[in-house]
Amino acid sequence: MYSKRRAELAGSIIRGRLKHDHWARFYGLLVYKQKKSLLSDEEIRTIQAELLDHGLYSQAEYSKKKYYLRIVASDHQPGKNQVVVPVLLFLITILTTAITGAQLSVADPFSSWASFSYGFNYSFALLSILFCHEMGHYLYARHYGLKVTLPYFIPFYFPLMFNFGTFGAFIRLKEQIPHKKALFDIGVAGPLAGFVVSVIFLLVGFQQIGSEDAMWRTISAIHPLSANTEGVLTFGSNILFDFIAEQTGRTYLPMSEMYHFPFIVAGWFGLLITSLNLMPIGQLDGGHITHAMFGGQAARIAILGFAALVGLNIYLISQFNSFVYILWPFLIILFIKFKHPPTLDDSVPIGPGRKLIGYIAYLIFILCFSPMPIYLQ
């Protein structure tokens, strides 16, 4: 965005090394340009660093013959209260997840404090996973000096339908990301943190079950046992969940009874959130990782991922009458998009170490993804 004060400050820093593009001003943009023969990539990055030292964020773009440097304004508003709303939403989400957790244990959360308190284990586990996921993003954003909001938790409770008590959480960056290293670190830190905490709660939850007889006693205390499972709400498994169940010797836990065990259902939900966020599409965490790793090829990968998701929807609807993923294609088209916006300097490589972590993130996506996460038997 063009600003006379910003133009004067930028001009004093650039000191004639790039020329002011006066035509860009007609479009409300502040852009500088220079022939590639007169500047190197290193000099461009040096100028960007100098601009950043004075609070000016810039985006470097290239043509065959010229460098273009666009000065980007920050939408950060000093003094704006950014604490009250996130904290209030977090407290409300504690309430909605505690109510949901109690009802998953077939306890009426409104009958007594003791019944309501049944939901605290579930609320604690689920919000710990979401909190660690968002703080992974937040802390790395702060590491790179970016202005970022606290996590916004989304409470949700509807008594007439099954739900998890929340639609998740998000943070909002208030500045453009400086380069692909920062984009990768911020993008991958969230799902990795949430993944680790999800696995921990699954391990603890499976150990708490005890023997098969103890499990059935717990379930029978909640509702009468029945051999007829037709029409029963059932959770879909994934590769990692099955592996943990096998390694802990708890394969006897029916997926239709899993939601009675708060740490297990929270851990399962954490794996689901991790996999959905790691889809290599647009503004999802997986999209951040893919753009950082593959740059201009990321849009093609996103289109392939979208096509696979559409194919999965067609298969689930035709074979199982399941519409569990039906909203995702529309969310991608309307909000998430295919093409990831560039960082301020996309020329900075992320290096082999980060690429290895990126491939591990893709593996985690495969291990955690459930083709049909919820269905009726």
> What would the pLDDT profile of 93-116 be if each residue is shown by its tens digit?
999 999 999 998 877 898 889 889
CB 236 within 8 A of CB 246: no
Instruction: Check residues 120 and 175 and name the one with the higher pLDDT.
Output: 120
Q: What is the token pair recorded at 364?
A: 């985690």
Let me know whether 194 and 58 are in one domain: no
Let me know whether 47 and 128 are in one domain: no
Domain boundary, last residue among 72, 92, 119: 72
Let me know whether 278 and 346 are in one domain: yes
pLDDT tens readout for residues 342-354: 888 888 899 999 9
Nearest 5°: phi and psi at 230? Answer: -65, 130
Let me know whether 26 and 118 are in one domain: no
Structural domain contains residue 77: no
Percent of the chain having pLDDT more than 90? Answer: 60
Structural domain contains residue 30: yes
Structural domain contains residue 141: yes
Structural domain contains residue 362: yes
d(CA 131, CA 87): 12
Structural domain contains residue 62: yes
Let me know whether 198 and 297 are in one domain: yes
Averaged pLDDT, 70-74:
70
Let me know whether 218 and 361 are in one domain: yes
Averaged pLDDT, 251-275:
95
User: According to the model, what pLDDT value does residue 78 have?
Assistant: 43
Kindly report the average pLDDT of the chain as a whole number.
Answer: 90
Instruction: Give the Å distances, CA to CA, from 57 to 36, 75, 185, 295.
Output: 21, 11, 19, 20
Instruction: Check residues 139 and 161 and name the one with the higher pLDDT.
Output: 139
Let me know whether 111 and 250 are in one domain: yes
Total domain count, the chain: 2
User: According to the model, what pLDDT value does residue 94 have?
Assistant: 97
Q: Cβ-count burial of 121 within 10 angstroms (0-12 exposed, 13-18 middle, 19+ buried)?
A: buried
CB 57 within 8 A of CB 344: yes
pLDDT tens readout for residues 212-253: 999 999 899 888 887 777 778 899 999 999 999 999 999 999
Instruction: Check residues 172 and 23 and name the one with the higher pLDDT.
Output: 172
Averaged pLDDT, 118-142:
96
Q: Is the dihedral of CA 206, 209, 213, 218 positive or negative?
A: negative
Let me know whether 8 and 88 are in one domain: no
Instruction: Check residues 218 and 270 and name the one with the higher pLDDT.
Output: 270
Let me know whether 116 and 65 are in one domain: no
Structural domain contains residue 79: no
- Confidence check: pLDDT of 77 > 70: no
User: According to the model, what pLDDT value does residue 81 have?
Assistant: 56
User: According to the model, what pLDDT value does residue 222 have?
Assistant: 85
Let me know whether 252 and 120 are in one domain: yes
Let me know whether 62 and 203 are in one domain: no
- Confidence check: pLDDT of 148 > 70: yes
Q: Worst-scoring range by mean pLDDT, 75-79, 294-298, 328-332, 362-366? A: 75-79
User: According to the model, what pLDDT value does residue 211 have?
Assistant: 92
User: According to the model, what pLDDT value does residue 158 have?
Assistant: 86
Q: Which residue has the tokens 């950014």?
A: 82
- Confidence check: pLDDT of 72 > 80: no
Domain boundary, last residue among 44, 72, 100: 72
Nearest Cα neighbor of 373 from 263, 266, 272, 250 is 272
- Confidence check: pLDDT of 331 > 70: yes
Let me know whether 206 and 349 are in one domain: yes
Domain that holds residue 60: 4-72
Taking the model in full, what pTM does it have?
0.81
Instruction: Check residues 140 and 36 and name the one with the higher pLDDT.
Output: 140
User: According to the model, what pLDDT value does residue 73 have?
Assistant: 59
Domain boundary, last residue among 19, 48, 72: 72
d(CA 301, CA 371): 19
Nearest Cα neighbor of 157 from 205, 103, 204 is 103
- Confidence check: pLDDT of 1 > 70: no
- Confidence check: pLDDT of 119 > 90: yes
